[in-house]
Structures are given as C-alpha cells and as structure tokens.
C-alpha cells in the first residue's frame, strides 16, 4: 500500500531510481534479495533492436565522418574519397584558427541557452493551464501544437515575410509609434532568431510537461485542498517536483536542438548569414554544401560536438538526470 501524504511525491519519485541501489519505500531491509531478482531476470535482449539500429545508423556513419574530417576532402577529391590526401589534424587546426568556428559556436550556444530558458515558463504555463478539463480543451490543446508542427522552413518564410521592412510587423509597431529598425540584419537579428525560435518550440516543452503532469498522484490534489494550500504553494512544492524530470530533460534537449537548428536561420536570414546570426549549423552547411569543403566541415562539426558534449555531461551529472537520483528533500 502506498502512503498518500504530502510527502508522496518523494515516495513516488524515488522508486524510479536505479532498481537495486536505494532502499524502496516501505520495504526496508530487503535490498540484497531485490538485487538478485533484478540481475537474474534481466531482459537485456530488449536493448537489442534499439541498440543495433543506433550502432549501425548513427555510430558507423559517425566513424566515417571522423575519418572524413582527417582528409582533405573537397569537390576535387570527392569522387574517390578514400584516396583524398590524409591531413590528420589539418582541418581541425584550420577550423579553430582561421574559420569563424569559435565565434559561431559562441553565437549558437548563447542563442540556444537563452531561447531554451525563456521558452520553459511558457511551455509549463500552457501545460498547467490545460491540465484540467474545460469545454474546448481538446481543441485548444491541438491548436497549441501548431507552431511546433509547421515545418521549419515554412515558419522561416512566414516570419521573414512578416518581418520584412515595411511588412506587417513593422506596420503594427509603427502604428504604436515604435520603430525598432531592421529585423533581419544587424544587431536585432539575433533577437529575431530567438523570438521566432521561442514561437516555434514552446509546444515542445508543453508536450513534455503535459506528459509529466499525468504522473501526478490525484490524491495529492485532495490532500492539498484539505490542507488548505494556495495554488502557488501547491504548484511550487507539490506539483513542480513531479515535473523536475521532464523539465530538466526538455531544457537540455531544447538546448541541443537549438544549437543544431539549421533550417530556421537558413530560411530566415539566407546565406551568407549576417554577422550577428552566423550560427554554427549554417556555417557547417555552407562549408560543406556551398564551399564543398567536406573535410573541413566535418572537422568543424566534430569540434563543436566535443565542445558541447563537455558541458552536457557536466549538466547531466549535476542534475543527476542520468542516474535519476533525486536530491533528498
């Protein structure tokens, strides 16, 4: 039987931790037996389908990409790519020293972080607001999804048309007496990218938080009501802890996705990209498919991968997202 008290979130969340390590709620003194149970019946074969797919279709091409990054692979040597001259770290040196790579990484990382952090409360608010039944809720929930469903290049074209000088947005703001200047070039373009990215990706947070909200124990609501907790207290101390997992996951995934988002800046600003929005994916795309320097582009992408993987794993350990051990409250 489960305890249904205000402490329930901790009880409900804890069993999700590593199966054998912690003492399960209400059942002290039997960890040894549980561990053996788990190890004996491990259905590791269930890992095979996903594992094989990911090794073959992601890891193997990744190895190929690493090999390509050590070759002087460009339009002249593409035809027999294995015979392209081997230049070891030559591409990496060029990527770091004479290409705009580091600057692009800076722009991309800051843009991704800001966009993810600002989008978070929007998505959470939407999920909270549509959690309870009201007339038309299904429709509202589906409408909320639209910005995320629209393909990135449509969103890019749509906003580019809206933000062009003399376009709809300028017209509206002009009516209010505000003249911000050029949206699609110059210093404001960075914020344009952030705003459009927020518009198109907040349903992502919304979806994840909605899923997380479903695991909230319904008795908790009654318990709060009986205890006379206000909505803010209830939200902050009872509901949000349930959402910790989904929110942390959404943050990191949105961050990674924003760093690698290519289509939106490509369509919104075109190439060559204005200085302020020369983001990383557009840079690697142009290097690869416009300048045809595949080796250099692979080196750039791998550099950025390494640079991003480090804070990624730091984040994972810090919030214990990987091992799932929540901090004891």
Partner 1 sequence: MRSRLALGAVAGLAALGLALTGCSGAGSSSTTSGGAVDGKGKTLDVMIAANALYPTQQQKWFQDVSAQFQKKTGATVKFETFASANDELTKIQTSVLSGQGPDIYDLGTTFTPTAYSTGAFVKLTDDDWKKLGGRDRFVPATLGISGPDQKDEVGIPFLSRPFVMAYNKDLLAAAGIDKPATTWDGLLAQAKKLTTGGVHGMAIAYADGYDPWKFIWTMAMQQGNTILDAKSKKATIDDAAVKKAYQTYFGWLTSDKVVDPAAIGWKNAQAVAAFAQGKAAFLPMVSSSSQVSLDASPMAGKYAYAVMPTVPPGATKLPSDGKAAATIISGDNMVVAKYSKNQDLAFALINMLTSEDNQVAYTKTFGDLPTNAAAAKKIEEGNQLLTPILDAGTKAYGTPFTGAWGDTQLALVNVVVQSIPGLSSGGVSASDLQAKLKTAQDAAQAALNKSK
Partner 2 sequence: MTATASRTAGRRPAARTSGTRPISSDVHRLLPRPLLVVVIVVLLVIVLGPVLYMLFASVNSDVSVAGGAFFPAELHLDNYLKVWTTVDLGTGLANSVLISGSVAIVCAFVALATAYVLVRHEFRGRLTFLRALLGLQSIPGTLMLLPVFVLFSSTASLLGIQIIGTRWAVFLTYLTFALPFSTWVMVTYLRGLPKALEEAARIDGASSWRILTRIIMPLSWPGIVVSGIFAFLLGWNDVLFASVLTNPDSRTAAVALQVFGATQEGGAVPLYGQMMAASLICALPVVVLYLVFQRYLVGGLTSGGVK
* Interacting residues with partner 1 (CB under 8 A): 44, 51, 55-56, 59-60, 63-64, 67, 74-76, 78-83, 164-166, 181-187, 270-275, 286, 289-292, 294
Q: Which does 90 bind (CB under 5 to 8 A by kind): partner 1, partner 2, none?
A: none
Q: Kindly tell me which residue out of 199, 275, 276, 319 binds partner 2, with binding defined by CB under 8 A.
A: 199
Phi-psi region for residue 136, left (φ > 0), alpha (ψ -120 to 50) or beta?
Answer: left
Q: Kindly tell me which residue out of 77, 164, 185, 275 binds partner 2, with binding defined by CB under 8 A.
A: 164
* CA distance linking residue 23 with residue 37, whole number of Å: 14
Q: Kindly tell me which residue out of 142, 271, 272, 291 binds partner 2, with binding defined by CB under 8 A.
A: 142
| Cα separation values, 78 from 43, 75, 137, Å | 45, 5, 54
Q: What is the token pair recorded at 241?
A: 């802890």
Q: Is 56 in the site for partner 2 (CB under 8 A)?
A: yes
- DSSP code of residue 14: G
| CB of residue 94 to partner 2, shortest distance in Å | 17
Supply the DSSP string of 238-260, one letter for each residue. Answer: IIHHHHHHHHHHHHHHHHHHHHH
Q: Kindly tell me which residue out of 92, 205, 269, 294 binds partner 2, with binding defined by CB under 8 A.
A: 294
Count Cα atoms within 13 angstroms, Cβ side, for 160: 15
Query: Phi and psi (nearest 5°) for 122?
Result: -65, -50
Q: Is 251 in the site for partner 2 (CB under 8 A)?
A: no
Q: Is 314 in the site for partner 2 (CB under 8 A)?
A: no
Q: Is 140 in the site for partner 2 (CB under 8 A)?
A: yes
Which of 120, 319, 88 is closest to 202 using CA atoms? Answer: 120
Considering the complex, state which of residue 92 and residue 294 has its C-beta at the smaller distance from partner 1. Answer: 294
| CB of residue 203 to partner 2, shortest distance in Å | 8
Single out the segment in contact with partner 2 by CB under 8 A; choices: 92-100, 174-182, 184-192, 212-220: 212-220
Q: What is the token pair recorded at 192?
A: 């344009």
Supply the DSSP string of 154-197, one letter for each residue. Answer: HHHHHHHHHHSTTSHHHHHHHHTT-----SSSSTHHHHHHHHHH
Find the length of the chain.
329
Considering the complex, state which of residue 111 and residue 183 has its C-beta at the smaller distance from partner 1. Answer: 183
Residues 19-38 interacting with partner 2 (rule: CB under 8 A): 19-21, 24, 35, 37-38
Cβ(34)–Cβ(19) below 8 Å: yes
Q: Is 85 in the site for partner 2 (CB under 8 A)?
A: no
| CB of residue 95 to partner 2, shortest distance in Å | 13
| CB of residue 294 to partner 1, shortest distance in Å | 8
Considering the complex, state which of residue 254 and residue 268 has its C-beta at the smaller distance from partner 1. Answer: 268
Distance, C-alpha 312 to centroid of its chain: 11
Q: Kindly tell me which residue out of 22, 88, 117, 219 binds partner 2, with binding defined by CB under 8 A.
A: 219
| CB of residue 137 to partner 2, shortest distance in Å | 9
Q: Kindly tell me which residue out of 75, 110, 161, 291 binds partner 2, with binding defined by CB under 8 A.
A: 161
Q: What is the token pair recorded at 303?
A: 């550099």
Sequence-separated (6 or more) residues with CB below 8 Å from residue 207: 145, 148
């Amino acid at each position: 039987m489960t305890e249904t008290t205000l402490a329930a979130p901790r009880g409900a969340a804890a069993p999700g931790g590593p199966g054998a390590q912690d003492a399960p709620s209400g059942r002290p003194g039997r960890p040894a037996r549980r561990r053996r149970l788990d190890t004996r019946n491990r259905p590791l074969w269930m890992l095979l389908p996903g594992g094989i797919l990911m090794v073959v279709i992601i890891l193997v091409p990744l190895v190929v990409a690493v090999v390509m990054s050590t070759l002087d692979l460009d339009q002249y040597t593409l035809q027999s790519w294995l015979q392209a001259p081997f230049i070891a770290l030559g591409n990496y040196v060029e990527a770091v020293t004479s290409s705009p790579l580091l600057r692009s990484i800076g722009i991309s990382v800051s843009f991704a972080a800001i966009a993810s952090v600002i989008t978070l409360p929007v998505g959470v608010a939407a999920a909270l607001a549509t959690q309870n039944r009201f007339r038309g809720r299904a429709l509202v929930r589906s409408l909320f999804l639209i910005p995320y469903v629209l393909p990135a290049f449509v969103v890019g074209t749509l906003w580019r048309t809206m933000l062009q000088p003399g376009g709809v947005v300028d017209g509206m703001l002009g009516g209010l007496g505000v003249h911000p200047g050029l949206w699609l070039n110059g210093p404001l373009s960075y914020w344009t990218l952030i705003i459009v990215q927020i518009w198109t990706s907040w349903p992502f947070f919304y979806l994840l938080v909605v899923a997380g909200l479903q695991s909230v124990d319904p008795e908790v609501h009654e318990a709060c009501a009986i205890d006379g907790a206000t909505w803010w207290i209830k939200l902050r101390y009872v509901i949000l802890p349930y959402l910790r997992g989904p929110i942390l996951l959404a943050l990191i995934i949105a961050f990674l996705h924003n760093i690698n988002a290519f289509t939106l800046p490509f369509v919104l600003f075109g190439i060559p990209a204005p200085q302020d929005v020369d983001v990383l994916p557009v840079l690697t795309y142009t290097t690869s498919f416009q300048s045809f320097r595949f080796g250099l582009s692979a080196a750039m992408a791998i550099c950025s991968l390494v640079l991003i993987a480090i804070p990624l794993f730091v984040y994972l350990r810090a919030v214990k997202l990987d091992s799932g051990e929540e901090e004891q409250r």
